[in-house]
Chain A
Amino acid sequence: MNFRRVAADFRIVMRSYFRNPVALFFSLFFPIILIALFGLIFSATGSGPVTLPVLNEDHNSAVSREFLSALNNTSVDKVSVVSNSTVAPGDFASWLGQNDDPVGLIIPPGFQADYYNATPTNVSVFTNPQDAASTGAVLGAVQGVANGFNLHRACSGQVCAPVIGYTNQNVGSQVYTYIDYLIPGLIGFSILTSPMFSMVDIASSYRKEGIFRELSLTPLTRSEWLLSRITWYVGITFVTAGIMIGAGVVLFGAHVNVTAGLIPFLIVGPFFFVSLGMLAGSVAKTPESAALIGNIITFPMMFLSGTFFPVSSFPPYLQAFAHILPLYYVIDGMNQVMLFSNSAKALADLLVVLIGAIVVFAFAVRLFKWRDE
């Protein structure tokens, strides 16, 4: 290993990169776009109240009005009463669809009378299963308000306060929002994708164009060449992570712990995936099959390693699958550092990635050939 040669090759990589506007755009703006996009999609829902169109078939009775005002006070729903003359109860579902409302509610006729007589009656809740957030919010609120009314009715006038209440706290030591979980996930996403896609391409196209052949005629060794790429992607990763954390804080008020514990992951992560990309590109015979192999490795990891959604939200078999994906350990480790301050778990994750990286690097150096047999 000769570091003068590594440095010379690194300068070539750096210059090629800075003179390529597309590459520059992707590394500098893509992280911001990713954070902004996912931050907006997932942070917006759940934070504001859901507008709930209501068709009151009980002629504005006192109990129905009390029920709706209780719903309005849950801070989840904002009740908007729809005039009975606008739409018939049988057409309400399609009316909601036409108006792009994901949820709706019908108070049945005789609601007040049934309540006083303790005759079971049902309000109808309309939901759109594709909008899981609104569905959950409305069902929860309606259920909660109905329970309150049921409790009150069961006590029939006696003082009858609820016994068990609850307070809400988030997982972790501080109050975290989705954006806080998203930042380590998206840093992991770029640790995976930017080296994988470009190394797979480089490995096969440099071979095809004969650039490896030319390099093989110089004293540069394969491990020196690979080390220079790894160094470059470590640098890119630091910049990207910085941009993502900055964008998360500025745009969405994220609060993550940025500590020195993050640094090993930003080094070992790219080390692993540059080597893996090189390995994938080397075993392929043509650039086309290299791209295919690269995608087969990359895509499952892109979605199933906790990049956009926490792995704990997966069904058990997918969780088990996630645990064999190397990126899972990179992202979990960064979660442990940035959110949970759990250095023991972070260290265990780091060890898994480091050992994997050494093995993959060794295979990549062995299997990628400067010259033909």
Chain B
Amino acid sequence: MTEAIEVRGLVKRYGQLAAVDGIDFSVSSGTVFSFLGPNGAGKTTTTEILEGLRRRTGGEVSVLGLDPWTEGPALHRRIGVIPQDFRFFEKITAGEAIEYYRALFHTDVDPDVLLAQVELLDKKNARYDTLSGGQKQKLGLALALTNVPEICFLDEPTTGLDPHARRAIWSVIRSLKGSGKTIFLTTHYLEEAELLADHVAIIHHGKIIAAGTPSEIIRVHGRPERISVQAPPELATYLERHLGVAASAEDGRVAVELGDKHDALRVLSAIEASGFPWDSFETNRDTLEDVFVRMVGQMDDGALKQEAPK
């Protein structure tokens, strides 16, 4: 599989502040790569460097084999970008906007097909200033696709949208992936990344603190799977004594971390054998969001500062 994007040792400094502090990652062609991080982590700076909108301070960046800063015009013909909070000329209709981009890029995509692809065909003759937030974002997406790009950069495409509009954008992203495009998605909605992305990188304070597939990240950085039951706190003490496992009691529930799947049967048998009344059996595993919140939170507390990026 060829690499659509390759980043080695990327640094962007503003004066003394390193907004991006030596990051490495690559994105394979035809995959969805999601770039996660809290606000101010360096997401947008990195994205803009990849798009050729911002000059890097150091490191190597190659997008479709081009240097985004020095070969911007050539690159822009082959990528599509919807920025965060897409804005356009207020009095121009969706159809006219597509015509405009078609003329600028000198392509002959059918505006109706493009608008249908982003589920905006019914608004073809509506002016930009009459569109809802989700419709504006869809128009941005349609414009980003006018030049039939090989890579789509989506910078927080669903921020501020209602759940219905968000799902509509997701379905467009899935269909783009289905048509073989590479997608670079930044977001701070973790479920969005978990749902759409093949690979994820979490950036914080300008460094990548975790990378891999969503399940890899959960496996490496998440807590073990847990079994919990509704039971009196004394059960926790009982289980620790009889099984030698870590158990905790909280909010009327007792939770036990599982080392591997065989532990589950042993724990359940021990609970049954304990004679305590129990009910409402559940298993819990960390979601990407749990991992993200814990990692970012711990890092801010200083605990994870030395953990090297994968």
A12 interface neighbour in B48, B72, B96, Cβ under 8 Å: B96
For the complex, is B203 an interface residue (Cβ under 8 Å from A)? no
Q: Are A218 and B54 in contact (CB under 8 A)?
A: no
- Residues in B whose Cβ lies below 8 Å from that of A15: 91-92, 96
Residue of A nearest to B143 (CB): A214
Residue of A nearest to B87 (CB): A209
For the complex, is B51 an interface residue (Cβ under 8 Å from A)? yes
User: What is the CA–CA distance of A211 and B73 in the complex, to the nearest angstrom?
Assistant: 17
A371 interface neighbour in B54, B89, B104, Cβ under 8 Å: B54
Min Cβ gap B55→A in Å is 5
Q: Are A218 and B89 in contact (CB under 8 A)?
A: no
User: What is the CA–CA distance of A314 and B55 in the complex, to the nearest angstrom?
Assistant: 52
User: What is the CA–CA distance of A220 and B104 in the complex, to the nearest angstrom?
Assistant: 6
Residue of B nearest to A216 (CB): B53
- Residues in B whose Cβ lies below 8 Å from that of A220: 104
For the complex, is B100 an interface residue (Cβ under 8 Å from A)? yes
For the complex, is A373 an interface residue (Cβ under 8 Å from B)? yes
Q: Are A211 and B89 in contact (CB under 8 A)?
A: yes
Interface residues in A315-373 (C-beta closer than 8 Å to B): 371-373
For the complex, is A165 an interface residue (Cβ under 8 Å from B)? no
- Residues in B whose Cβ lies below 8 Å from that of A12: 89, 92, 96, 100
- Given the interface pairs A19-B127, A214-B87, the reply to whether A219 lies near B104 with Cβ below 8 Å is yes
- Given the interface pairs A15-B91, A210-B83, the reply to whether A219 lies near B105 with Cβ below 8 Å is yes
User: What is the CA–CA distance of A4 and B104 in the complex, to the nearest angstrom?
Assistant: 8
Q: Are A371 and B105 in contact (CB under 8 A)?
A: no
Q: Count residues of A near B (Cβ-Cβ below 8 Å).
A: 24
Give the one of B96, B103, B105 with max A CB within 10 A: B103
Min Cβ gap B108→A in Å is 13
User: What is the CA–CA distance of A218 and B55 in the complex, to the nearest angstrom?
Assistant: 18
B87 interface neighbour in A9, A16, A210, Cβ under 8 Å: A210
B51 interface neighbour in A11, A16, A20, A217, Cβ under 8 Å: A217
Q: Are B91 and A19 in contact (CB under 8 A)?
A: yes
User: What is the CA–CA distance of A219 and B100 in the complex, to the nearest angstrom?
Assistant: 12
Residue of A nearest to B75 (CB): A217
For the complex, is B85 an interface residue (Cβ under 8 Å from A)? yes
User: What is the CA–CA distance of A216 and B76 in the complex, to the nearest angstrom?
Assistant: 9
For the complex, is B77 an interface residue (Cβ under 8 Å from A)? yes
Give the one of B77, B90, B91 with max A CB within 10 A: B91
- Residues in A whose Cβ lies below 8 Å from that of B104: 5, 8-9, 218-220
Q: Are A219 and B89 in contact (CB under 8 A)?
A: no
| Interface pairs (15), CB distance under 8 Å | A7-B103, A8-B100, A8-B104, A11-B96, A12-B100, A15-B96, A19-B91, A20-B91, A214-B81, A219-B76, A219-B104, A219-B106, A371-B53, A371-B54, A373-B55
Known: A5-B103, A372-B48. 8 other contacts (CB 8 A): A8-B99, A15-B96, A214-B86, A216-B72, A218-B76, A219-B104, A220-B104, A371-B53
